[in-house]
Amino acid sequence: MAPPPASIDDVETRLRDRRYIGDRGLATSIFLALKLDKPLFIEGEAGVGKTEAAKVMADVLGARLIRLQCYEGIDLAHAVYEWNYPRQLLHIRLLGEGEDRRMAEREIFSSEFLLRRPLLDAIDNDDATPPVLLIDEIDRSDEEFEAFLLELLSDFQVSIPEIGTIKAKHAPFVVITSNRTREVHDALKRRCLYHWIDYPDLEKEVEIVRARAPEAADGLAREVASLVQGLRGMDLYKVPGVAETLDWARSLAVLGATRIDETLVNATIGAALKYQEDLERVRAQVPALVDKARGA
């Protein structure tokens, strides 16, 4: 168990120790979220390190990471709990004729027959350090689920009709991420601290590649980061994120590259661009992009 961070500097140092290169704003939000006991709502384009921030936070705090991946149609049975019906039925059937059925009914609605999903797990914990609850990509869930979450995050309790209300002894540290594929309701955001993760500038991105893809040579790291920065300045349907930069640097490193050239870039550019139209648009620019990146 790690002592909680004592200052913003402390958060920054610990993130960096775990090879997460964030900005001062993110460290401030994390520190305050911990101090004020508020969930942290992180938004940003895909692949800028939102989920990673939550994972690293768990490590920083020495806490367990509980992750709830949201999707369209997610409901309580997937997010909170479900009874283990096959086991319950089996249990009842195995009972002898003479045994008290009332007793049996109470028995099968006990925690032994409960399938705990991430939210229940996060609330009903005995961890020495409260867990980090990552509610990932909340923009994929629908409004009903969001409304339920709102309730859960204000009281940190869940009520199960057969068992009663379960309240968190120690509230988890909650991180919610969104790719902004839709607007998340204001009421939910109001309960959270907010941080927008932007694309990093060149120096920071080089630093990230060095930290996260150390197999890429220093020169290569800089050139790939510069290439991606160039792509972000172009008119594309899907601008590459930091995750794509890392993929690209790793792909090139696997091919044994220490510098980039046109052939290598053309062969591996799929690591960064995911739309055919974007690929076509960029193809003609590759020589210029490579020139610029090599001069960076």
Partner 1 sequence: MPRTPDLLPRLGAFARLLHDAGVEAGPRRLTDATRALNHIDLKQQGDFRNALRAVFVSRKEDIVTFEAAFDIFWAPPDPRSAAGALPGRSRGLPMSPERAKVWAEALGLNSSGMNREPDATAVPASSSGYSADELLRHKDFEQMTWQETEQVRRLLEAAPWRVAERRTRRLRPARAGRIDLRRSARHAIRSSGELMQLFRRRPRVRRRPLVLLCDVSGSMERYSRLLMIFAHAIARREDLEAFVFSTRLTRITRLLRYRDLDRALDSVSKGVHDFSGGTRIGEALADFNRHWARRVLGHGAVVIIVSDGWDRGDPAQLTAELIHLRRSAHRLIWLNPLLGSEGYQPLTRGMAAALPHCDDFLAAHNLQALDDLGRLLAGLGSRSRI
Residue 283 in contact with partner 1, rule: CB under 8 A: no
Q: Quick check: 160 binds partner 1 (CB under 8 A)?
A: no
Q: Is 201 in the site for partner 1 (CB under 8 A)?
A: no
**C-alpha 54: how far from chain center:** 6
The Cα–Cα gap between 42 and 26 comes to 9
254 belongs to the binding site for partner 1 (CB under 8 A): no
The three-state secondary structure class of 180 is: coil
Binding mask 99-138 vs partner 1 (x if CB under 8 A, - otherwise)?
--x---x--x------------------------------
Q: Which listed range, 47-55, 57-65, 213-221, 233-241, lies at the site for partner 1 (CB under 8 A)?
A: 233-241
Residue 236 Cβ vs partner 1, minimum distance, rounded to whole Å: 8
Which residues touch 277 (CB under 8 Å, ≥6 apart)?
237
Count of positions on this chain that bind partner 1 (CB under 8 A): 51
Q: How far is the CB of 181 from partner 1 (least distance, A)?
A: 5
Alpha-carbon gap, residue 212 to 139, rounded angstroms: 27
Question: What whole-number distance in Å separates Cα of residue 124 and Cα of residue 137?
Answer: 23
- Could you give the C-alpha distances from 209 to 21, 27, 196, 212, in angstroms and in order? 10, 20, 21, 5
Mapped onto helix, strand or coil, the DSSP state of residue 260 is coil
For residues 126 and 116, is the Cβ–Cβ distance under 8 A?
no
182-218 burial by CB neighbour count: b if 16+ within 10 A, else e?
eebeeebbeebbebebebbeeebbbbbbbebbeebbe
Tell me whether residue 84 or residue 264 sits nearer to partner 1 (CB atom). Answer: 84
Give yes or no for residue 189 binding partner 1 (CB under 8 A): yes
Pick from 3, 98, 235, 256 the residue near partner 1 by CB under 8 A: 235
Query: Smallest distance from the beta carbon of 116 to partner 1, in angstroms?
Result: 16
Residue 52, SS3 per DSSP: helix
Give the one residue of 174, 193, 227, 253 binding partner 1; rule: CB under 8 A: 193
- Which residue lies nearer to partner 1 by CB, 157 or 179? 179
Residue 219 lies near partner 1 (rule: CB under 8 A)? no
User: Which among 190, 230, 224 has a CA at the least distance from the CA of 207?
Assistant: 224
- Among residues 63, 175, 192, 213, which is the contact residue for partner 1, using CB under 8 A? 192
Is residue 255 part of the contact set for partner 1 (CB under 8 A)? no
DSSP states along 6-17: -SHHHHHHHHHH
Q: At what angle do helices 8-17 and 50-61 cross, to 10 degrees?
A: 100
Query: Interface residues with partner 1 (CB under 8 A)?
Result: 7-8, 24-25, 28-29, 31-33, 35-36, 38, 41, 43, 71-73, 75, 77, 82-83, 85-86, 88-90, 92-93, 95, 101, 105, 108, 142, 144, 179-183, 186, 189-190, 192-196, 235-237, 277
